[in-house]
Amino acid sequence: MEDATGVLTILHDISFELAPRESVSIVGASGSGKSTLLSILAGLDVPSSGRVVVAGTDLFSLDEDARAALRARQMGFVFQSFQLLSHLNALENVMLPLELMGRTDARAAATEMLRRVGLGERLSHYPCVLSGGEQQRVALARAFVVRPALLLADEPTGSLDFATGEKVMELMFELNREVGTTLVLVTHDSAIAARCDRQLRIEAGRLVPEAAQAPQGSQPTQAPVQALSAGSA
C-alpha cells in the first residue's frame, strides 16, 4: 500500500518472541511479506521502524560490520534456491562460514557435518553435479555447521519434489533438535508448518492471531529473538 509520502509499507505492527530451540513456521499467501520478515530478522533489510533483538542485542543498533559478524556467528540461512557458491565444491561451501569466523578446524568440522547429512562421498563435488536434494543438504550443512542460535529457512523445499522435500525437512528438524537451534521456517506446505511448535500467519503484512498457540509449558522464559514492530520501505 502506498501512502501520501510514496512509501511502500510491507509489514505492519508485527511483534513476537522466539524461545531457544523452538521451531516456528511462517505461513501466508505469496506477497504477504514472509521473505521480507525473514530479511529483517536477519538484519539484511532495515525496517523503517521497529527492533529485532537477538540474544539481548538490538540488531539495528549495530553498524553493518558488527551486524554481519553477529549474523555469521548466530544465524544460518536456507533458501528455496539453495544459494551455494558454484565455484566452490561441497566441502568448500560448508567450510566457508567457519573460515570467515577464523576457525582453524573448518575442514574437519565441515567434513563431519557433510557426513551427517549423508554427503560424505560428495565432498569434492561441485553444485552443478549435485541433485536439488543434495544441494539443499549441502546448504543445510553450511547453515548448521556454525551451530547457529537461529536458523532462517525460506521455502526450503520449494524447488524439490515431494519425496526429496520430505527428506530435507526431516533432516532439518533433526539438526534443529541436535544443534538446539531456534528454527524459523517459511513454508507454503501446511503439513510441514504443522510440524513446528508454533505457526505464525501473515496476511498482507500483518500477523494473524493464531487460534492454536504454543502448548502450555513451552512459553519462552528467555527470548533469544524478539521481533519487531516493523514497516519496511
Ligand X SMILES: Nc1ncnc2c1ncn2[C@@H]1O[C@H](COP(=O)(O)OP(=O)(O)O)[C@@H](O)[C@H]1O
Residues at the contact surface with ligand X, assessed by CB under 6 A: 8, 10, 28, 30-36
Q: Which is nearer to Mg ion, 34 or 201 (CB)?
A: 34
Residue 151 three-state SS: strand
Report the partner that residue 74 touches, choosing among ligand X, Mg ion, none (CB closer than 5 to 8 A by kind).
Answer: none
How many Cα atoms occupy the beta-carbon half-sphere of 23 within 13 Å? Answer: 21
Residue placing its CB nearer to ligand X in the complex, 34 or 71 = 34
Per partner kind, with CB cut-offs from 5 to 8 A, the member of Mg ion, ligand X, none near residue 152 is none
CB of 232 within 8 A of CB of 48? yes
In the complex, least distance from residue 205 CB atom to ligand X, rounded to whole angstroms: 7
Residue 4: CB minimum distance to ligand X, A: 18
Compute CA distances 17 → 64, 222, 223, 229, whole Å: 23, 9, 6, 12
Residues of the shown chain interacting with Mg ion in the complex, contacts defined by CB under 5 A = 34-35
Compare residues 57 and 80 and give the one whose CB is closer to ligand X.
80
Q: Which of ligand X, Mg ion, none lies near 10, with the C-beta cut-off 5 to 8 A by kind? A: ligand X
CA–CA separation, 146 vs 179, rounded Å?
10
Nearer to ligand X, 36 or 136 (CB): 36
Q: What are phi and psi of 231, to 5 degrees?
A: -115, 145
Sheet holding 225-227, edge to edge: 16-18, 225-227, 52-54, 57-58
The partner in contact with residue 28, picked from Mg ion, ligand X, none with C-beta cut-offs of 5 to 8 angstroms by kind, is ligand X
